[in-house]
Amino acid sequence: MSLAGGRFSATGFSLKDLIAFAYAVDDIQISGGPNWFATDRYDVMGKPETEGRLSRDVARVMLRALLSDRFQLKVHFETKEMPVYVLTVEKNGSKMKPRTNGDGGETTRLTFHGAEATGRNVSAGTLAEELQAMVLDRPVLDQTGLTGNFDFSLRWRPEPDQFGGTGASIAGDPNDPDIFTAVREQLGLKLESRKDPAKIIAVDVAMRPSDN
């Protein structure tokens, strides 16, 4: 998926993939749906009414509206206990640089280049969402209690089960720490494996779209 040029584009994605992005959840957090919604592939493009950089939050709102219109998608929300990672603050506090009023520089941006992430003006909640979407194999719940936005850099050693099971092909320095150590040492946060209630997107209705 791309947000380049102020446009949202997704090529060759299933409806299940699109739902996962639209609602910021992992595949295992989606239940129900017709037998084709994880196999049929679609190309989706959209552009907001306003010009400028397109944020993930705005792209998700756009995509939810498009899925409702083109796929007649109807969902409801449930909770279910499942394996998750919980993001909390280490006892010595966050090491991320807080953004304050009057700070100049970049607007909100979180980019991944292999096993490196650079955040500018990013909330802890967005960090959790993107670690879940881009790197880890289960939901990541933000329980840091941190408010406001932060600047940070994160670098770690990729593992095979990361990046949707393609972590073995991601270039990285074997001397770098694993992601759990990196999050602790570089961000002052902690990722813990637990079983906790997590959001479930239950698909009530989904229909194949008609041809454009």
Name the DSSP letter for residue 185: I
* Burial degree of 121 (CB within 10 A; 0-12, 13-18, 19+): middle
Give dist(CA 108, CA 126) in Å, integer: 10
Q: In the prediction, which pLDDT does 147 show?
A: 92
Structure tokens at 144: 């840091």
Per-block mean pLDDT, blocks of 10 residues, the chain (212 long): 71 91 87 93 80 74 91 94 94 92 70 90 91 88 94 93 84 90 97 92 92 62
Q: In the prediction, which pLDDT does 50 show?
A: 67
The H or E element that residue 140 is part of is strand 140-142
Give dist(CA 176, CA 208) in Å, integer: 45
For residues 182-206, one letter each, b for 16 or more C-beta atoms within 10 angstroms of the residue's C-beta and e for the rest, the string is bbbebbbbbbeeeeeebebbebeeb
For the chain, domain boundaries:
4-79+199-205, 80-197
Q: In the prediction, which pLDDT does 106 show?
A: 61
DSSP-assigned letters across all residues of 4-72: GGG-EEEEEE-HHHHHHHHTT--GGGEEE--TTTTT--EEEEE--SS-SPPPHHHHHHHHHHHHHHHS-
Whole-structure pTM value: 0.76
